């Protein structure tokens, strides 16, 4: 239990203004990516700013890896907290060029021992050609890459990102997301990532905190929270994320088989090799339910499943069915009409037909 | 030669006054503008009003009160006398004090305007990168408000060069001590020596024009922002 208290981030936030009340008890893992997800106005940014100390709230307690940042008797000012913050807009210093922006962070680094070396960070974010550029010449995506590099080079113990992709167009978003993916693989400090895009979160994070109206309504490992009823109530386009391993490669059909506890799925082949880890996403709307295993269907992936729960919403045509495949929850969005026609009920054995699978990482 | 040694004394004195006043005002105005641009204290409005007062007040009124404050029965006079500095009226340092009051808005307001338009984001970023308050101010705020800073320096300097009313009220007309160019011009006109008045006036006009021309052509300043 002692290690559980000392590791990771523990925070207690409670404050209210005239139009908003926030109350949250946070416990986040000491490594990997934790995401804050919720509709806009839910309080995600407010929480992040309170953790960083950018806004002062008296009844706040923040402890990271056993080190206290704020409690009833003390409050470390922002510049003394070992963190780095990537804002929604890149917010580079316009009186400095790219390299000088990075050096600004390096000369004020939080730790003498470097976790992230200059060369590594420049290579990771592909900044080599931009180093001499003036900040005003950069595109939005380039500027955000520099801002991320600058944050890494301040050698923080905790990295905070507040919707770093929100101000970019779709194309640039995809580009930066690829860089973030690389970054996450090599991450040497925990990252809290705020977003209202489930897509980004499914791709990047390991731990998910659901925030709604200033409260934490659920938190836990990503795959678990993604298929939770709490999330399904917040979001229409829900999906299942499966962490699996590549088990087989079929060069005749150009396909690969991935396996996860008590299940397997065939994919179009990827660049990954047999034995590699892979994360895939299955949208609930791409899963249909059949009572018998169709042998005359074009669908490749048909899994044996048991109905775990059915969320009926009488005001809508569609229903969300939670299926269990082995010990993995799979979400299926089907018509209410089909549920009645097939007589679906909790505990029934059915076949889940997966029409398409997206590879996340 | 159309310029005599008295004119040269007056010119040198004026330049010295303007330089000293600008330097002192920068020291006061940087922190003051910084505070005014971000505070939500109830003192903000009254202090803004006080700073702007010299813009609308006749220099004679300002000079009159400065004279009262610095005189033997005024608080500043009391302090300077206790410190053994004597009384400030009719001395160079008396002029400096009066001019600081008089030119304050011309230095504070451009700085305050550019600091306010800069917003808080840059200092927040600097703080998250480990920069303390003083470090943030000098490494981020000051360089980013450079156009405002240049405007403040030029306006403070140019405005002090051209002051007359306050000088006459608290400085009088002591050659080499308080007789600045504007007072010298006034004296020439009183003596009906229009030629000499004209030479000095033209010099002032051209110099001030060149200062402002430099400010606008530097490209950094698009318009002079006074609230």
**A146 has a chain B CB within 8 A of its CB:** no
d(CA B122, nearest CA chain A) in Å: 7
Interchain contact, A154 vs B130, CB within 8 Å: yes
**CA-based nearest residue in chain B for residue A84:** B128
For residue B132, what is the nearest residue in chain A, using CA coordinates? A79
Asked if pLDDT for residue A110 goes beyond 90, the answer is no
Q: Binning pLDDT at 50, 70 and 90, where does residue A20 land?
A: confident
pLDDT digits (tens, 9 = 90+) for A260-303: 887 889 998 888 888 888 999 999 989 999 998 888 888 889 99
Average pLDDT of chain A to the nearest whole number: 88
Smallest CA–CA separation between B47 and chain A, in Å? 26
Q: What is the pLDDT of residue A2?
A: 40
In chain B, the residue whose alpha carbon lies closest to the alpha carbon of A150 is: B129
Query: Is the pLDDT assigned to residue A6 strictly greater than 70?
Result: no
Residues 146-185 of B with CB under 8 A from A: 146
Kindly calculate the radius of gyration of chain A based on its CA atoms and give it in whole angstroms: 23
Q: In angstroms, rounded to a whole number, what is the distance separating the alpha carbons of residues A264 and A273?
A: 16
Chain B: closest CA distance from residue A351 (Å): 52
**Residue B221: what pLDDT?**
57
What pLDDT, on a 0 to 100 scale, did the predictor assign at position A229?
85
Residues of chain A with CATH 2.40.50.100: 239-359
Tell me which chain B residues have a C-beta less than 8 angstroms from the C-beta of A93.
Answer: 122, 125-126, 140, 144
Compute how many other C-beta atoms are within 10 angstroms of the C-beta atom of residue A4.
10
Residue B137: list chain A partners with CB under 8 A: none
Domain with CATH 3.40.50.300 in chain A: 2-233
- Using an 8 Å CB-CB cutoff, list chain A residues near B143: 95
pLDDT of res. B227: 47
Q: In 3D, which of B90, B112, B107, B99 has the Cα closest to residue B21?
A: B99
Taking CB atoms and an 8 Å limit, are A150 and B129 in contact across chains?
Answer: yes
Residue B128 at interface with chain A, using a CB cutoff of 8 Å: yes
Q: Looking at the complex, does the CB of residue A83 fall below 8 Å from at least one CB of chain B?
A: yes
B122 touches chain A (CB under 8 A): yes
- Quick: pLDDT tens for A155-181: 998 999 999 998 888 888 888 888 888
Q: What is the pLDDT of residue B209?
A: 92
B49 pLDDT exceeds 90? yes
The pLDDT value given to residue A4 = 46
B113: nearest Cα among B227, B14, B7: B227
- Inform me whether the pLDDT recorded for A77 exceeds 50: yes
Q: Do B143 and A95 touch (CB under 8 A)?
A: yes
Between B50 and A8, the more confident residue is B50
Q: Nearest residue on chain B to A103, judged by CA atoms?
A: B129
Query: Which of B124, B127, B144 is nearest residue A94 as measured by Cβ atoms?
Result: B144
| Residue (of A189, A175, A109, A188) closest to A139 by Cα position | A175
β-partners of residue A319 are A334
Across the range A182-187, mean pLDDT stands at 84
What is the separation, in whole angstroms, between the first and last Cα of chain B?
Answer: 44
Closest in B122, B128, B135 to A52, CB measured: B128
Tell if the CB–CB gap between A93 and B121 is shorter than 8 Å: no
pLDDT of residue A114: 75
Across A6-20, A59-73, B128-142, least confident range: A6-20
* Interface touch A84/B129, C-beta < 8 Å: yes
- Give the distance from residue B129's alpha carbon to the nearest chain A alpha carbon, in angstroms: 6
In this complex, is the C-beta atom of B119 within 8 Å of any C-beta atom belonging to chain A?
no
Chain A / chain B CB contacts < 8 angstroms? 61
pLDDT at position B225 is 52
Residue A205 confidence (pLDDT) above 50: yes
Mean pLDDT for all residues in chain B:
90
The confidence band for A1, taking pLDDT boundaries of 50, 70 and 90, is very low
Could you give the strand order of the β-sheet that contains A358-359, starting from the edge strand earlier in sequence?
A: A263-268, A255-260, A239-250, A277-283, A358-359
**Residue B135 sits at the chain A interface (C-beta within 8 Å):** yes
Q: Is A100 on the interface with B (CB under 8 A)?
A: no
A182 has a pLDDT exceeding 60: yes
- Mind spelling out the 3-state secondary structure of chain B? CCCCHHHHHHHHHHHHHHHHHHHHHHHHHHHHHHHHHHCCCCCHHHHHHHHHHHHHCCHHHHHHHHHHHHCCCCHHHHHHHHCCCCCCCCCHHHHHHHHHHHHHHHHHHHHHHHHHHHCCHHHHHHHHCCCCHHHHHHHHHHHHCHHHHHHHHHHHHHHHHCCCHHHHHHCCCCCCCCCCHHHHHHHHHHCCCHHHHHHHHHHHHHHHHHHHHHHHHCCCCCCCCCC
Overall CATH class of domain A2-233: alpha beta
- The fold of the A239-359 domain, in CATH, is OB fold (Dihydrolipoamide Acetyltransferase, E2P) (2.40.50)
Q: How confident is the model at residue B155 (pLDDT cuts 50, 70, 90)?
A: very high
pLDDT at A174: 86
pLDDT confidence tier of residue B223, bands split at 50, 70 and 90: low
The Cβ-side half-sphere exposure at A218, using a 13 Å CA radius, reads 16
Q: How far is A224 from chain B (nearest CA, A)?
A: 33
Specify the pLDDT at position B226.
Answer: 54
Per residue in B56-81, pLDDT (tens digit) is: 999 999 999 999 999 988 999 999 98
Q: Does the pLDDT at position A3 exceed 60?
A: no
Q: Which domains does chain B have, with CATH numbers?
A: 5-217 (1.10.3720.10)
Could you tell me what percentage of chain A is helix, strand and coil, using 3-state DSSP and rounding each to the nearest 5?
Answer: 25, 35, 35
Query: Exposure pattern of A106-121 as b/e (b: 16+ CB <10 Å)?
Result: bebbbeeeebbebeeb
Q: Report the gap between the CA of A339 and the closest CA in chain B (Å).
A: 52
State yes or no: pLDDT of A256 exceeds 70.
yes
Residue A5 pLDDT level (bands cut at 50, 70, 90): very low
Assign A156 to helix, strand or coil.
coil
């Amino acid at each position: 239990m002692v290690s559980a208290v000392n590791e990771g981030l523990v925070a207690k936030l409670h404050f209210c203004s005239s139009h908003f009340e926030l109350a949250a008890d946070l416990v986040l893992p000491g490594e990997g990516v934790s995401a804050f997800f919720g509709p806009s106005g839910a309080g995600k940014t407010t929480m992040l700013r309170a953790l960083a100390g950018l806004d002062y709230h008296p009844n706040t307690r923040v402890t990271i890896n056993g080190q206290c940042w704020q409690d009833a008797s003390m409050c470390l000012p922002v510049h003394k907290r070992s963190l780095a913050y990537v804002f929604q807009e890149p917010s580079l210093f316009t009186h400095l060029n790219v390299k000088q922006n990075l050096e600004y962070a390096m000369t004020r680094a939080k730790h003498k021992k470097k976790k992230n070396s200059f060369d590594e960070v420049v290579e990771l974010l592909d900044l080599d050609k931009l180093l001499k550029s003036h900040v005003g010449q950069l595109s939005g995506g380039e500027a955000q890459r520099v801002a991320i590099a600058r944050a890494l080079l301040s050698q923080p113990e905790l990295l905070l990102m507040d919707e770093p992709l929100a101000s970019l167009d779709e194309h640039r978003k995809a580009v930066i997301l690829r860089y973030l993916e690389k970054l996450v693989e090599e991450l040497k400090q925990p990252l809290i990532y705020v977003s209202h895009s489930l897509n980004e979160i499914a791709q990047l994070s390991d731990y998910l905190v659901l925030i709604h109206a200033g409260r934490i309504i659920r938190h836990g490992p990503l795959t678990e929270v993604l298929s939770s009823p709490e999330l399904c109530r917040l979001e229409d386009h829900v999906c299942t994320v499966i962490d699996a391993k590549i088990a087989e490669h079929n060069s005749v059909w150009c396909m690969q088989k991935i396996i996860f506890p008590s299940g397997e799925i065939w994919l179009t082949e990827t660049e990954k090799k047999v034995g590699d880890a892979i994360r895939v996403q299955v949208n609930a709307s791409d899963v249909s339910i059949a009572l018998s295993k169709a042998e005359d269907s074009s669908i490749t992936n048909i899994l044996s499943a048991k109905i775990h729960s059915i969320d009926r919403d009488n005001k809508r045509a569609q229903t969300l069915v939670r299926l269990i495949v082995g010990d993995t929850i799979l979400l299926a969005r089907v018509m209410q009409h089909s549920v009645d026609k097939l007589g679906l009920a909790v505990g029934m054995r059915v076949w889940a037909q997966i029409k398409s699978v997206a590879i996340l990482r | 030669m159309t310029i005599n040694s008295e004119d040269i004394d007056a010119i040198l004195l004026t330049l010295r006054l303007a330089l000293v006043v600008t330097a002192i005002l920068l020291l006061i105005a940087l922190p003051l503008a910084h505070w005014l641009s971000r505070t939500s204290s109830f003192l903000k409005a009254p202090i803004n009003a006080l700073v702007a007062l010299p813009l609308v007040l006749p220099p004679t009124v300002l000079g009159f009160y400065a004279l009262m404050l610095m005189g033997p029965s005024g608080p500043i006079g009391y302090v300077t006398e206790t410190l053994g500095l004597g009384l400030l009226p009719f001395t160079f340092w008396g002029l400096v004090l009066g001019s600081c009051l008089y030119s304050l808005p011309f230095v504070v307001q451009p700085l305050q305007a550019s600091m306010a338009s800069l917003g808080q984001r840059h200092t927040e970023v600097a703080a998250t990168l480990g920069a303390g308050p003083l470090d943030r101010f000098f490494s981020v705020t000051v360089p980013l408000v450079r156009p405002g800073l240049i405007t403040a320096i030029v306006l403070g300097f140019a405005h002090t060069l051209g002051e007359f009313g306050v000088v006459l009220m608290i400085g009088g007309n002591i050659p080499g001590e308080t007789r600045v160019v504007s007072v010298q011009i006034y004296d020439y006109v009183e003596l009906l020596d229009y030629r000499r008045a004209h030479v000095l006036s033209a010099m002032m006009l051209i110099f001030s024009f060149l200062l402002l021309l430099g400010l606008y052509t530097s490209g950094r300043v698009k318009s002079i922002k006074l609230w």
